[in-house]
Amino acid sequence: MKLNPEMAILAREFRGFTQAELADFSGLTQSRIARIEAGIGADLSEEEFAQLSSALGFKREFFLLNEQRYSYGTSSIFTRSRQLTAGEKKRLAGLVNVLRIQTKRMLDHVDVGSARPLPRLSIDDYHTPEGVAAALRSAWNLPLGPIKNLTKIIEGAGVVIIECDFLDIPMDATSIALGDMPPIIFINKDVPGDRWRFTLAHELAHLVMHDIPKPEMEDEADQFAAEFLVPAGEISPDLSRMRADRLESYVTLKAYWGVSIAALIMKAKSLGKITPDQARNLFVQMSKLHIRKNEPAPIAKEATNLHPMMLNYFRNDLNFTDDEFSNVVLVNPDRLKGLYVASSEKPRLRVVR
């Protein structure tokens, strides 16, 4: 049986195996695996196919898909103190590609509409990332003040948000936009509520502003996110009235705007309400109080809705068993647990006839 070598590589990277490790798990030799992945020995015997499928946990049909591997997309890294290792990049690309393919197959059965467009906006046209953020708020007719539920608004633009377990990879989120399906944001399920909102806004910036990767794109996405969530013209009077050099002043603002104290301090600095030295002193105070990673007045994490409803459509409306659903996403039934957790909310998706 002839398989697609790209799918063999993808399945292995998804599992985080090297070729040598896959050889140990499957019983195939490393040289045989190398030839399969190179497309030299893509004709497998029934026994070899069974060994590969069992070791990697994917249905045989997965290896026959006419798909290709893509990069893991633009990324939001909470700690930029180090670069991802080559192994982490491969594992991340494996996760993103597998979930993308499985989502694409689910979308063959349901129709995901949108309440608002997701425009492409150029920084050249609006001069700065902040200008793009203001233009998008206007295009989406968002009211003044804080955005109450950013997750719902982004999903309303047809973006699928998938909560992921990134294990020990220092990644908050990544996003991809391909022409044959809706944009997808993959976000770490463990990020706290304030960072969840800023991370989604950061990834939204990539989807709206960036076609081609460039060195400054992560900083631009941060600038967009800060302005989209906390418009300068609206928070500036508040920062002028309060003691912006006092740490306690930011707790109330955090609860109102739904962003972290750290983000508000950076906003105050960018608007000239505090000096760089004052901002640095505020972060030193946070470190001494051990609240840099666990801030006071936590923000509740917003719930995703669209992707869980897609999953529940198969469970509740179609009454698929695990075996039947595994045939949709092409993963062996024993691998379903932990990969997908369906929401208890009643799905409201339209069936594609």
DSSP-based three-state secondary structure for 242: coil
Q: What distance in Å separates the CA atoms of residue 91 and residue 7, rounded to the nearest whole number?
A: 14
Kindly report the pTM of this predicted structure: 0.91
pLDDT in tens, 88-138: 889 999 999 999 999 999 998 888 888 999 999 999 999 999 999 999 999
CA angle 136/141/147 to nearest 5° reads 80
- Residue 46 in this model has a pLDDT that exceeds 70: yes
* Mean of all residue pLDDT scores within the chain: 90
DSSP letter (8 states) at residue 269: H
pLDDT in tens, 317-328: 889 998 999 999
Which residues in the chain belong to E strands, given as ranges? 74-76, 110-111, 160-164, 173-176, 184-188, 350-351
For the chain, the C-alpha Rg in angstroms (whole number) is: 23
- Give residue 298's identity as a one-letter amino acid code: P
**Domains along the sequence of the chain with CATH:** 1-69 (1.10.260.40), 71-229+305-353 (no CATH), 232-288 (no CATH)
Strands 160-164 and 184-188: parallel
Q: What distance in Å separates the CA atoms of residue 18 and residue 30, rounded to the nearest whole number?
A: 9
DSSP letter (8 states) at residue 112: -
Angle between the N-to-C axes of helices 5-15 and 19-26, in degrees from 0 to 180, rounded to the nearest 10? 90
DSSP bridge pairs for 36:
none
Q: Structure tokens of 241?
A: 């009235």
Q: What distance in Å separates the CA atoms of residue 37 and residue 286, rounded to the nearest whole number?
A: 50
The pLDDT value given to residue 178: 87
